Amino acid sequence: MTSKKDDRVVLITGGAGGMGRAIAARFLEAGASVAASDLNPKDLDAGVFGITADVTKVADCERMVKETVAKFGRLDVLIAAAGIWTEGPSDEATEAEFDKVIDVNLKGVFFTNRYAIPALEKTGGIILNIASDAGLVGNAGAAIYCASKGGVVLLTKALAVELAPRGIRAVAICPGDVATPMLDYQASAFGGGDAEGYLANLRSKYPQKQKARFITAEEVAELVYLSASPRLGALTGAALAFDFGLSAGT
């Protein structure tokens, strides 16, 4: 018995990144039509309709939705996966650093969501915003990032309540550390010259201790795909922690 082809249309921001790429692959595997935006869409995998866009620009957030609907005729699933990381002492942070992180991680999510609403209302679709466990608990030295992802969590909850009468669901996915190029950058840029030590310190905080490992992008993609299932109509307004229990005991 063959499984039914997934005929939905999906738009993913940050589609060339580690999580975005894995999410795109998962939906493509199921048969969905996938559009993905990125600063460098040439890095997108085959089969994805690429859109050059910068989520910090409101006009680009609107255009990517319009291009997706023009290409495929509808929009069923929006996944806001574009994001960046920063860390360091708060009393050393700059306005430019703050603006950059908030613009990508929160402003970009809001306006992508905002422009997708009319199209999603027509299909009874879903918004899936990639937040973080750092949006659920505070991380020392990551105040700006935590603020941005905490904003995504409450944005998603607010939209879930607001959009429920219009048939749209909204869910925040809150992964812990994911083994992607962004995590490698994080360790290199903020590890003080000891990237391996930086990563080992992250793993040491997990309840699994010596057996701790990082989440894979494919695991995040599977959670996103399952959460987007139309069979899970009651799943909305949730912030799904996906972090080996790291945030559970905090």
**Which residues does the annotation mark as catalytic?**
145
Q: What tokens appear for 17 in the block?
A: 């990144």
- For residues 15-41, one letter each, b for 16 or more C-beta atoms within 10 angstroms of the residue's C-beta and e for the rest, the string is bbbbbbbbbbbbbbebebbbbbbbeeb
Tokens of 228: 């987007």
Residue in 159, 47, 179, 48 with CA at minimum distance from that of residue 109: 159
Nearest of 46, 32, 40, 35 to residue 16 by alpha carbon: 40
Determine the number of helices (DSSP H) and then strands (DSSP E) in the chain: 8, 7
Tell me, what DSSP letter sits at residue 2?
Answer: P
SS3 225: helix
